[in-house]
């Protein structure tokens, strides 16, 4: 990659953001950063008191009694005694460094590999689950909860070891601790041990807030929310620092929501899972504000929260709760109140619709209602309206619905750093079945081939030219030569079909244009391509199943794809590909590859059998 491309990528990140990160790292290396000088001591044993009001009519999730599902899928057996807090959940390897300050530990070279395999237990989902189980009538869970928190505090002394490495991870713990206090009815009069634990976490978060804001992603929203919620909790408990931290949290929440959420509701991170994390965070903030009768946020804040709610609402299948496997995902599920699968987004949509619209997204009862039950919100039965088609011009998404079809078309509008090469990707659904799918992200720290495969062209339903990605890699989470689509057109005015089209030219002059037309009986995808030197490959990543290629027609159990090209097809075959629907899990799937050696166009006709 040329110096010009690297410089342009860093320029687009923003010179102010780069300066903040540089000063943060310099301060840690020299020992001059305020975070280096922090000292706290956690010696508590009774974080939550036995004075709880039981609500046996509420259904508590069974997770964390005898087992848990980590990252939403990995079964993890547990005992009454606390688990180990510093090991890789997949390999059993110890992270080490528990006796070292967090700022002396490397981001990506710890012996455990992906640090998220260590952090997962310390996100403290179990705090919320045990609080729910206690209120629902299992009094033993409160004793267990205090025991685990005591052990965690002893094994993770303040600011030492990998579990203190990330301010966002500390923020998730704060929000879970505060939510548990609310569930147990102790948010208005928290115990002194809980106050000390939360105060220590906010002391870790606040000095490095500028680094979180420089990321322009969910780190900033999470850490601002923790300061607002945790600071308010401390203020309720008579801790002087609480009010100032809460004010800073409120300020930065307003700032982040205005900057990172587009007017159409799209978020700075092109990710379904991280959009949920954003919405869950805003929901908890708004619920906390209502519970404590705190001043309202600005009208602009409410407007962007509403827009973000509508964005997720329009992408989620109401029957399964699933949505396109879009962008990065670490399985984050901030509000694990229902025990629903982490790929079921309906609980978040239902809660956000209730808080920001005073409506319901879904009238049919189900696990998605448990968020409302546990948090004490009962919106009127008014049902939110969902349009069949929706064009999110600010973020670069089109949702097309007609007959049995739902298509998500992704066109690049990269104002914030992109990581996935998904320009002109098409996600296609029949009812609740995702038949042409995105690959996901798998892991942020794994072997090089997987780091390249999932976010690269191969992980998406688009075209690849001369073996290079649509955007070159600058670093692990940064690409150069950001794309912006041209010729974008969206038309849903006809009752017979809906369509969208867009094109882009990459930094090497390769051109791709795509037109998607959804009709009642079929979907047509027209691709035009030029500017490459050797070869172009069109990929269709197929739902796992039995597929048979007969000439230019691919048949599955429920679907048929017919390929019509205006030039010679050099190769057309089914190859093995991979998908990752949960973090740290990958499974094979068939991929249809169609290879061309000269410029031209190709039409894919998709019919339901």
Question: In this predicted model, what pLDDT tens digit does every residue of 540-590 receive, in sequence order?
Answer: 999 999 999 999 999 999 899 999 999 999 999 999 999 999 999 999 999
Residue 160 pLDDT exceeds 90: yes
Distance CA 222, CA 126 (A): 19
d(CA 222, CA 96): 27
Task: Give the per-residue pLDDT at 395.
Answer: 97
In terms of Cα–Cα distance, which of 91, 130, 126 is closest to 111?
A: 91
Of 151, 42, 155, 40, nearest in space to 98 by CA? 155
Q: Are 569 and 552 in contact (CB under 8 A)?
A: yes
* Cα–Cα nearest to 407, from 386, 436, 387: 436
Residue 108 pLDDT: 66
pLDDT score at 43: 85
Strand (E) or helix (H) holding 229? helix 218-236
Per the prediction, the chain carries an average pLDDT of 94
d(CA 238, CA 49): 18
Helix axes of 299-315 and 346-357: crossing angle, nearest 10 degrees: 150
Residue 112 has pLDDT above 80, yes or no: no
| Pairwise pLDDT comparison (54 vs 282), residue with the higher score | 282
Q: CB burial class (10 A; 0-12, 13-18, 19+) of residue 238?
A: exposed
The closest alpha carbon to 565, from 523, 516, 514, 601, belongs to 601
| pLDDT tens per residue, range 431-445 | 999 999 999 999 998
pLDDT over 80 (residue 320): yes
- The predicted model gives 456-465 an average pLDDT of 98
H or E element, residue 348: helix 346-357
Banded pLDDT at 282 (limits 50, 70, 90): very high
Classify residue 512 by burial, with Cβ atoms within 10 Å: 0-12, 13-18, 19+.
buried
Distance CA 29, CA 227 (A): 26
Given a cut of 80, whether residue 27 has pLDDT beyond it is yes
Q: Which domains occur in the chain, in start order?
A: 390-608 (2.70.98.70)
Arithmetic mean of pLDDT, 39-63: 89
Handedness of CA 178, 183, 187, 189 (dihedral sign): negative
Q: pLDDT band at residue 509, thresholds of 50, 70 and 90?
A: very high
pTM above threshold 0.75? yes
CB neighbour list of residue 502: distance below 8 Å, 6 or more residues apart: 409, 411, 424, 485, 486, 487, 488, 489, 513, 514
pLDDT, residue 109, reads: 65
Tens digit of pLDDT for each residue in 60-111?
999 999 999 999 999 999 988 999 999 998 988 888 888 899 999 877 666 7
Quick check: 399 pLDDT over 80?
yes
**Long-range pairs, 89-94, Cβ under 8 A, ≥24:** 89/117, 89/118, 89/120, 89/121, 90/117, 90/584, 91/117
360-377: per-residue pLDDT in tens? 999 888 889 999 999 999
């Amino acid at each position: 990659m040329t110096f010009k491309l690297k410089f342009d990528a860093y320029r687009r990140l923003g010179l102010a953001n780069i300066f903040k990160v540089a000063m943060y790292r310099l301060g840690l290396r020299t020992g001059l950063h305020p975070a280096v000088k922090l000292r706290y001591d956690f010696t508590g044993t009774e974080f939550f008191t036995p004075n709880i009001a039981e609500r046996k009519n509420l259904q508590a999730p069974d997770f964390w009694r005898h087992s848990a599902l980590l990252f939403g899928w990995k079964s993890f057996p547990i005992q009454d005694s606390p688990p180990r807090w510093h090991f890789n959940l997949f390999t059993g390897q110890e992270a080490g460094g528990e006796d070292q300050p967090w700022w002396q530990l490397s981001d990506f070279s710890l012996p455990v590999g992906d640090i998220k395999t260590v952090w997962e237990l310390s996100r403290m989902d179990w705090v919320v689950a045990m609080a729910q189980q206690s209120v629902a009538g299992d009094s033993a869970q409160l004793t267990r909860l205090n025991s685990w928190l005591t052990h965690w505090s002893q094994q993770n002394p303040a600011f030492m070891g990998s579990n203190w490495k990330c301010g966002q991870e500390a923020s998730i713990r704060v929000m879970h601790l505060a939510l548990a206090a609310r569930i147990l009815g102790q948010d208005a009069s928290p115990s002194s041990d809980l106050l000390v634990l939360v105060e220590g976490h906010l002391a870790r978060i606040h000095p490095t807030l500028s680094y979180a804001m420089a990321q322009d992603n969910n780190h900033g929203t999470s850490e601002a929310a923790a300061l607002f919620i945790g600071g308010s909790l401390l203020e309720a408990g008579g801790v002087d620092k609480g009010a100032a931290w809460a004010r800073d949290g409120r300020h930065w929440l307003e700032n982040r929501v205005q900057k990172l959420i587009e007017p159409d509701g799209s978020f700075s991170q092109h990710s379904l899972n991280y959009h949920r994390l954003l919405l869950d965070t805003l929901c908890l903030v708004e619920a906390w504000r209502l519970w404590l009768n705190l001043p309202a946020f600005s009208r602009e804040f409410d407007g962007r929260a509403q827009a973000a709610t509508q964005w997720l609402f329009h992408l989620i299948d109401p029957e399964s709760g699933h949505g396109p496997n879009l962008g990065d995902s670490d399985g984050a599920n901030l509000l694990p109140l229902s025990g629903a699968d982490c790929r079921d987004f309906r609980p978040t949509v239902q809660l956000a619709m209730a808080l920001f619209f005073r409506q319901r997204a879904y009238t049919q009862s189900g696990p998605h209602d448990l968020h409302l039950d546990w948090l004490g919100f009962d919106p009127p039965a008014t049902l939110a309206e969902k349009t069949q088609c929706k064009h999110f011009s600010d973020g670069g998404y089109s949702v097309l619905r007609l007959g049995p079809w739902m298509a998500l078309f992704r066109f690049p509008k990269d104002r914030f750093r992109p990581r996935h090469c998904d320009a002109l990707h098409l996600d296609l659904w029949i009812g609740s079945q995702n038949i042409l799918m995105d690959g996901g992200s798998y892991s942020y720290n794994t072997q090089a081939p997987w780091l390249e495969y999932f976010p690269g062209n191969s992980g998406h339903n688009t075209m690849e030219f001369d073996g290079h990605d649509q955007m070159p890699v600058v670093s692990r989470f940064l690409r150069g030569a950001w794309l912006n689509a041209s010729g974008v057109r969206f038309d849903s005015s006809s009752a017979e079909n809906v369509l969208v089209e867009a094109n882009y030219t990459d930094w090497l002059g390769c051109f791709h244009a795509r037109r998607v037309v959804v009709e009642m009986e079929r979907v047509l995808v027209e691709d035009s391509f030029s500017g490459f030197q050797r070869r172009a490959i069109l990929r269709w990543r197929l739902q796992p199943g039995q597929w048979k290629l007969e000439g230019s027609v691919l048949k599955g159990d429920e679907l048929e794809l017919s390929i019509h090209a205006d030039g010679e097809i050099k190769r057309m075959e089914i190859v093995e590909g991979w998908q990752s629907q949960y973090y740290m899990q990958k499974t094979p799937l068939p991929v249809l590859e169609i290879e061309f050696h000269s410029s031209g166009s190709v039409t894919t006709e998709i019919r339901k059998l």
